Amino acid sequence: MAFALSNMQVESSAFEAHGAIPTRHTGEGDDLSPPLSWRDAPEGTKGYAIVCHDPDAPLVQHGSYGFVHWLLYNLPGSTTSLGEGSSDGTRGKNDFGKVGYAGPMPPEGHGVHHYYFWVLALDKPTDLPEGLGLGELLKQLEPHLLGMNRLIGTYQRG
């Protein structure tokens, strides 16, 4: 299946859909990943991955627009939530060049940015190495993608 939205629902107890992401989950705050939960995964889901991407970032890298803030994978199919600052799963490399979560930090004066917290449902568990970038991760996951959906949050530097 291609990268198409499914009926899966993604939520956070920290912010509403299209609402402001609290400062504690940003680069200006404690830089903790927000709590996430999801339900109604496609039938046959055996694993998950998380991608947080800011398409409003004024960058073109690796042939695509935006900025990757978080890659998390190797989550078992029994996982339906992540707590704040979760250490579950395996961390990929964000566009800051670091492994793990790096919260919203748009350029000053750049206005409101939108942050897409994607949950990808997979037809098999994965055992991928730490530190993959977005391109390599998607190359590995795409053949196993059953469906995906996202929670969108916003942030603007003060």
The CATH number covering residue 15 comes to 3.90.280.10
Give a yes or no: residue 4 inside a domain. no
Share of the chain above pLDDT 70, in %: 94
Give a yes or no: residue 18 inside a domain. yes
Give a yes or no: residue 62 inside a domain. yes
* Residues 58-67, mean pLDDT to the nearest whole number: 70
158 vs 76: CA distance, rounded Å: 38
User: Which residue from 142, 113, 114 is spatially nearest to 49, judged by alpha carbons?
Assistant: 142
Domain that holds residue 34: 9-155
Give a yes or no: residue 127 inside a domain. yes
Tokens of 99: 């492994």
Please give the tally of structural domains in the chain.
1
Query: What does pLDDT average to over the chain?
Result: 93
* Residues 72-99, mean pLDDT to the nearest whole number: 97
Tokens of 35: 């709590």
1 vs 121: CA distance, rounded Å: 11
40 vs 134: CA distance, rounded Å: 25
User: What is the pLDDT confidence band of residue 64, given thresholds at 50, 70 and 90?
Assistant: low
Give a yes or no: residue 3 inside a domain. no
Give a yes or no: residue 90 inside a domain. yes
